Chain A
Amino acid sequence: MSVVRVIGGLGAQVLAMLAMVGRLTLFAAETISHLLRPPFYTREFLTALVQIGWLSLPVVGMTTLFTGGALALQIYAGGARFSAEAVVPSIVAIGMVRELGPVLGGLMVAARVASSIAAEIATMKVTEQIDALVTLSTNPMKYLTLPRVLAATLAVPCLVAVGDVIGIMGGYLVGVSRLDFNAAAYLKNTVDFLEVFDVTSGLIKGAVFGFIVATVGCFYGMNSGRGAQGVGAATKSAVVAASVLIFAANYILTELFFSA
């Protein structure tokens, strides 16, 4: 009896998750459909661009700087086992632009932006501001969701690009100051082994992650429960779901771009 109950509970959880994925997909499709239908709220878009892009720059920069430095140390230590210390510049660069730049950038934006979007919109829902928007002839999907999703989709690749440069710089600083690399040789190796698609694939990942972060934040905000508990639950769910979806999307995109 208890086994049946456990399996039943598991099934209910899976069904609930699939229903949520379905609702999220419909929400994303509706958001995209508003791209083609005016009115467009330029001021809200520009505000979101500053909030999501510009104000996330310090946290993304710090994260990639330290990660680039740590990566250089790890690759040097690992490479020393088979006399391949010289690969540090190229592996740091490839690792940053293909994987760590977009994934870390996406995760930091998820932590900072998905939570704030979900909390803001959920609070607006709880305080009837969303209803007020509707009574003022303003579609909340157009006014709240589309500007944020569009801004995140455009801002995160830019953050990734900046994060890539800062991460490579972190590796360079550690390589030159701690690992005795020649500065000019380090830079030459970085540039020589990096291909254009390494960079563009990371930027495409960034755009997808940005779309995921803002869509998930808006979705959980719009569907939040009542009261402070509802706002808290929406915020937590948005960060968790955005992070998991970023990892899943990263694997799928890596398969698409780089599978043999």
Chain B
Amino acid sequence: MIELTDVHKAFGPKKVLQGVNLTIPKGTSMVIIGGSGTGKSVLLKSVLGLVTPDSGSITLDGQDVGTGDRDAFLARFGMLFQGGALFDSLPVWQNVAFRLMRGALKRPKAEARDIAIEKLRRVGLTPDVADLFPSELSGGMQKRVGLARAIAAEPEIIFFDEPTTGLDPIMSGVINDLIREIVVEMGATAMTITHDMTSVRAIADNVAMLHDGVIQWTGPVAQMDASGDPYLDQFIHGRADGPIEAVR
């Protein structure tokens, strides 16, 4: 279980997180929604330790994420970045097998390649993609490779940062389905941030809306449409009028 308690983070005078409280039960899929620049990525990166909160606590299974063996902690996570964040200098299979070629999870090269190809297949890519470089792939293929890399070491927890941004609706649907299938199949805990309401309905067990640095609303995805929260209603229906200012 991931638990955030009263998490604050500011960048200079800009207060991004102003007391976030959120619980993500083990084996569930939490989707965090909110406008651009509301701190969704900062929240996700705070859990991973890529951003250090100014105050508050973040625990994973009761243990503070800032303490203990960092490598062992990170080995429990997989992450799909917004732009894929594939390493340009490495071929696709080495990107996917990156974690399996070094450190505690190191495997023989041939085995790492086989696992990479299997994971590529799992996300719908053929083995001939394995030896290409990321720059030779389309945006959708890069997202799939990023997804294959995120699941390569079969992590307990997977984070997805804007998984469908920049993709056409069909490719978005493919990625959403893949994410849902993989999370269910692996029994992983998932945390996704997105603006895409189609993704929310396809991926989420629970939804949390981040607004003005706090969790404005959280609950099961099935209750989202009948929440009665004016902020959430405005956001999910994409209305310009409402309590959320259109110009931020």
List A residues at the B interface (Cβ < 8 Å). 39, 41, 123-124, 127-129, 131-132, 134-138
The reply to whether B104 and A128 form a contact with Cβ atoms under 8 Å apart is no
Nearest A residue to B155, CB-CB: A135
Task: Please name all residues of chain A whose beta carbon is closer than 8 Å to the beta carbon of B104 when the two chains form the complex.
Answer: 137
**Minimal beta-carbon separation of B161 from chain A (angstroms):** 8
Complex CA gap A258/B45 in Å reads 53
Cβ-defined partner of B103 (8 Å) among A124, A131, A137: A137
The reply to whether B98 and A134 form a contact with Cβ atoms under 8 Å apart is no
Cβ-defined partner of A131 (8 Å) among B78, B81, B86, B99: B81
Cβ-defined partner of B85 (8 Å) among A39, A41, A132: A132
The reply to whether B74 and A137 form a contact with Cβ atoms under 8 Å apart is yes
The DSSP consensus for interface residues of chain B is mixed
How many A-B residue pairs lie within 8 Å, measured between CB atoms?
49
**Minimal beta-carbon separation of A55 from chain B (angstroms):** 15
Interface flags, B31-54, vs A, CB<8A=1, else 0: 000000000000001001110000
Interface presence of B102 (CB below 8 A): yes
Task: Please name all residues of chain A whose beta carbon is closer than 8 Å to the beta carbon of B48 when the two chains form the complex.
Answer: 134-135
Interface flags, B152-178, vs A, CB<8A=1, else 0: 000000000000000000000000000
Task: Please name all residues of chain A whose beta carbon is closer than 8 Å to the beta carbon of B98 when the two chains form the complex.
Answer: 136, 138
Complex CA gap A39/B70 in Å reads 15
The reply to whether B74 and A132 form a contact with Cβ atoms under 8 Å apart is no
The reply to whether B50 and A135 form a contact with Cβ atoms under 8 Å apart is yes
The reply to whether B102 and A138 form a contact with Cβ atoms under 8 Å apart is yes
The reply to whether A128 and B103 form a contact with Cβ atoms under 8 Å apart is no
In the A-B complex, list the 7 residue pairs whose CB atoms are closest, starting with the nearest: A132-B85, A128-B85, A137-B74, A135-B79, A128-B81, A137-B71, A136-B99
The reply to whether A129 and B85 form a contact with Cβ atoms under 8 Å apart is yes
Task: Please name all residues of chain A whose beta carbon is closer than 8 Å to the beta carbon of B82 when the two chains form the complex.
Answer: 128
The reply to whether B81 and A39 form a contact with Cβ atoms under 8 Å apart is no
Pairs across A and B, CB under 8 Å, 25 listed: A41-B102, A127-B83, A128-B81, A128-B83, A129-B85, A129-B87, A131-B45, A131-B50, A132-B79, A132-B81, A132-B85, A134-B48, A134-B50, A135-B48, A135-B77, A135-B78, A137-B70, A137-B71, A137-B74, A137-B75, A137-B103, A137-B104, A138-B98, A138-B102, A138-B103
